[in-house]
Amino acid sequence: MPPSPPVPSAPAHRPRTAALVGVTALCALVALVSVAAYVGLDPADARVGLRDFGLHYPVLVLHVGTSVLALLTAPLQLWPALRRRGAHRVIGRIHLFAGVFPGAASGLVLAVMSTYGPVAQTGFALLSVLWFATAAAGWRAIRRGRVADHRAWAVRVFSLTLAGVTLRLLLPLSLVALAPLAGPDADGEELFAMVYPAIAWLCWVPNLVVAELFLRRRSGTAAAAVR
């Protein structure tokens, strides 16, 4: 009997490319949807409560613009074609200095001004500080030539940047899931104010845990390869 022809196998890099396309598209979609309410520069369109303080809205607009830039540039750093030294450096600087640093600084101001109470304020404030600190540590590591440390910090920064995505996935999902429990007469704004403080934590703590598990697994695999 003639040997059966080999089953053609998909190139090994195909799943990785599909994952990259998926993450990049998701980040771009969330960025577009997020920015839509703020392009008209009308405080009445803001999706969060605003204090009677003139600077609240301008800081929110600054935060949306810079954080959206951080979200758009983050997945580009993962594309092999853009990881050539020049492109990676240029996109990295835009990501940090026009995206993460001003996004985190304005995020901290917004956290203090949040109208959703101390649990939401603390969740967002801690996220701002960690976002800034992990990005600064990644920048410092590469300036000192510590490439492995730079990569590990970049994974943490990315997981925190994705809080912008997880928040916008979790919020509508939890509102839909909890609406039946709240009853037919439930006020949408009340439900939002109930759910929002929990989301201020749930949008980033699991991301960071997954990032740490990934880093541990990767360093375990590297150690096993050396042995």
CB-based contacts of 71, cutoff 8 Å, min separation 6: 27, 30, 31, 34, 99, 161, 164, 165
Farthest CA pair distance, the chain? 84
Q: Which among 46, 37, 168, 67 has a CA at the least distance from the CA of 114?
A: 46
96 is an interface residue for ligand HEM by CB under 6 A? no
The answer to the question of residue 67 lying near ligand HEM (CB under 6 A) is yes
Whether 191 and 178 have beta carbons less than 8 Å apart is answered as yes
Q: How far is the CB of 11 from ligand HEM (least distance, A)?
A: 32
Does residue 202 bind ligand HEM (CB under 6 A)? no
Site for ligand HEM in 29-58 (CB under 6 A): 30-31, 34, 37, 47-48
Site map for ligand HEM, 126-165, x if CB under 6 A? -xx--x----------------------------xx-xx-
Q: How far apart are CA 24 and CA 7, in angstroms?
A: 31
**Which residues of the shown chain bind ligand HEM in the complex (CB under 6 A)?**
30-31, 34, 37, 47-48, 60, 63-64, 67-68, 70-71, 103-104, 107, 110-111, 114, 116, 120, 124, 127-128, 131, 160-161, 163-164
